[in-house]
A = this chain, B = another copy of it.
C-alpha cells in the first residue's frame, strides 16, 4: 500500500535543506512517496502557507501526511504539532500554519513531546531533526501517545469579514496568488447565507466593480473582474494580467463590498 507525504516550506531548494529532510524521511520509510508541494513560500510566510495548505490538503488520498515547515520561531518554545482531521495528518510548528484546518468541524491536536528525539536536535532545523522523524514514527505506526501529548492552545489567525451595516462589508485580502489574484475572506457559502444577493459590487478607488463573473475570459483581456476562486473564495482578478500589480494591492489590504438584493439594471 502506498503512503504519501507532502512538503510545504519556505526553505527554497538551493541550500539542500529540503534534500536533507527527504533523506531523513526515506531512511526511515523506504517506500514513502514524497510529494513536493512548494518550497517557495515567502520567508516566514505563515499566512501564505496556511492558505496554500487548504488548497490541496483534502484532495490527497486519506492517510496522507502533510508536513508544513514555515517556522520563524524554530528553536524557541513554540510547540511542534501533529494535527489529525478527516483521516489526514498535519505536522508542523504551532504558529498558525494550520489555521484553516481548525475551521474543519473535527480535528485532534497533539504536541510532539519535547526532548523525544534526543540531544542531537539542531536548534535551527527542526524540519530535519524533529518534524521529519515525527512523520517517520507516525507512518511507521507508532502510537501517537508514545511521542505526543494532547494539546489545545493552538495558534490561529483566521479572520472573518466585517459587517459594516447597510449591506456594506469590509473584506480583507487573505492571499495573493502566483497570478496576482487577490483572494478575499468572503466565500460562496457566505454569499448564499446572505440570500445570494444578485448584485455584488466592490469599491476600487472611486468606482465600483460590478457583478461576479464565471471565469477570467468573460471580460476582455486586461479588464479587472470578480470571480469565485477554485475553493469558493471571492477573488479580484485581471484577465491575462496581474490584479495585485495592476491595483497595487497586497495581502492584508481591504476592500469595501456592497450588496443589493435586487438585480442591477444597466
The reply on A36 being an interface residue by CB < 8 A is yes
Cβ-based interface call for A253 (8 A): no
CA distance A189 to B11 in the complex (A): 26
> Judging by beta carbons under 8 Å apart, are A20 and B72 in contact?
no
Q: Is the CB of B38 within 8 A of A16?
A: yes
Question: What bracket does the count of chain A residues touching chain B fall in?
Answer: 35 or more
- Of the candidates A14, A22, A23, A59, the one having the most CB atoms from chain B within 10 angstroms of its own CB is A14
- Copies of this protein, total: 3
Question: Is B55 within 8 A of A217, CB to CB?
Answer: no
Query: What's the nearest-Cβ distance from chain B to residue A217, in Å?
Result: 4
Are B27 and A13 in contact, CB atoms less than 8 angstroms apart? no
In the complex, the answer to whether B214 meets A26 with C-beta atoms within 8 Å is: no
- In the bound complex, do residue B59 and residue A24 qualify as a contact, i.e. CB atoms below 8 Å apart? yes
Q: Are A19 and B6 in contact (CB-based, < 8 A)?
A: yes
Q: How far is the CB of A33 from chain B (nearest CB, A)?
A: 8
CB <8 Å contact, A230 and B38: no
Is there contact, CB below 8 Å, between B12 and A178? yes
- Assess whether B13 is in contact with A38, with CB atoms less than 8 Å apart: yes
Query: Can you list 15 pairs linking A and B with CB atoms under 8 Å apart?
Result: A1-B30, A2-B26, A14-B41, A17-B56, A17-B177, A18-B56, A19-B37, A19-B59, A22-B59, A23-B58, A27-B59, A36-B36, A43-B179, A74-B215, A74-B216
Interface: A60 (CB within 8 A): yes
Contact between A14 and B178 (Cβ–Cβ < 8 Å)? yes
Could you tell me the distance between the alpha carbons of A19 and B15 in the complex, rounded to whole angstroms? Answer: 21
Residue of B at shortest CB range from A66?
Answer: B19
Query: Are A61 and B30 CB-contacts (below 8 A) given A75-B216, A216-B75?
Result: yes
